[in-house]
Structure 1
């Protein structure tokens, strides 16, 4: 067996679970109450006091800035407003990555970096609506032109299905 999970050590599993489950859309896979919770996809939260006991050390570093937990959403602006209103510290506000994707980074309750990015399908749609050619989109995003064409064809089919 191989990779199973990434564990974030947190002060309060219940509080952190609310952020990851309710705001960021993580689905609980395993629930061990206040000690740890696992989400589908492999993210898990461990209570700091339990983890310190398991590794025989209270020397758990905070705000190391060498790991980010990554999420994609079609609309990051409304989530940004919710994060800002709740007083989370921003690493930076919404900005465009070199490949055209909009992204926001903030610290969760335990100073882990949370990266909220625009879904790449939304990026492509935004680029098309701005008048960019498929070739220009491919050049900007790093996708092949064929990949861009296929995604846009599938998105057009999905839009047509919505109106039926």
Structure 2
């Protein structure tokens, strides 16, 4: 059986990013490696992790495209559900996130908003689908 185990976001400041996600979304920081090059959050059955750009460069011989707030977001997102989307969007903005799309109700009844984190990664904040 294959299990989706983790997502790693490559960031310029691992500790600051882990603290942003912990403060904003309530995930406990499970581990920060010595030297602050890697961190993991307790985020349920799938781990959300952050690794320094230096680790990405060491493992990817042809390099990678770093997230950049000045550029359009990548064609991927990290999604979090909550019953109060507007409140969590405001909390994220207060913690340093950048608003992309205000909360809107979709035709299927879900409320969805988008922000970008401190590094520029796209975050969807939405109500759960029953």
TM-score (norm 2): 0.78
5+ long unaligned stretches in structure 2: none
The SS at the match of 2:109 is coil
Q: Deviations over 1:36-66 (max 9, x none)?
A: 1122322111111222122234442425431
Unaligned runs of 5+ in 1: 122-164
Say which SS state the counterpart of residue 39 (structure 2) adopts. strand
User: 1:76: which partner in 2?
Assistant: 85
The number of residue pairs the alignment matches comes to: 121
Aligned to 2:19: 18
Structure 1 residues 57-104: Cα deviation after superposition (integer angstroms, max 9, x where no partner)? 444242543111011112122222233345532221111122111111
Q: Which residue of 1 aligns with 2:74?
A: 65
- Distance in 2 of aligned mates of 1:85 and 1:24: 12
Q: Which has the higher contact order (CA 8 A, sep 6+)?
A: 2
Answer yes or no: is the 8 Å Cα contact 1:52–1:60 preserved in 2: no
| C-alpha RMSD over aligned residues | 2.2
Structure with more helix by fraction: 1
What is aligned with 1:7? 8
Q: Which has the higher strand share?
A: 2
TM, length-normalised to structure 1? 0.63
Distance in 2 (CA, whole Å) between partners of 1:104 and 1:111 is 15
